[in-house]
Amino acid sequence: MIDTALLPQQIIVLTAAAAQDEYGNAVPDWSAPASRTIAAYVRPAAASENVADRDAVTAQWQVHTNDLAITALDRIVYHGVTYEIDGKPLTWDVAPDGEVGHTKLLLRRVDG
């Protein structure tokens, strides 16, 4: 577990409700997601711009938190901007010292 003094930012975790499409497949329903606010340490990870076919800017943030329940299907709101989780969050259920672990994840947003 990360000491809460080292988690100065607040982020909102959005989790979609389960729904079905017209073929009976499970799909996420983002019309009214469940939300929870958690403490985190957020730092810039990368930014890039692609101007070959269109003007697109990608921003990435690295997040560390004690929340072990975040999944790749969740979305994160940080400073009022909604990001998708890029890849599977890395969760340490138990830290090397035997304490409860933490989660590290990458946020990604593409504009343009």
Q: What is the mean pLDDT of residues 90-106?
A: 83
Strands 103-111 and 81-85: antiparallel
Residue pLDDT, tens place only, 32-65:
999 999 999 999 987 666 666 667 788 899 999 9
Whole-prediction pTM: 0.83
Choose the CATH number for 4-111 among 3.30.70.920, 2.40.10.270, 3.30.9.10, 3.40.50.920. Answer: 2.40.10.270
Q: What is the mean pLDDT of residues 10-18?
A: 95
86 has a pLDDT exceeding 80: yes
- % helix, strand, coil for the chain, step of 5: 5, 60, 35
Q: What angle do CA 100, 104, 105 make, to 5 degrees?
A: 145
**Contact call for residues 65 and 38 (beta carbons, < 8 A):** yes
pLDDT of residue 12: 97
> Where along the chain do its domains lie?
4-111
SS3 label, residue 6: helix
29 has a pLDDT exceeding 80: yes
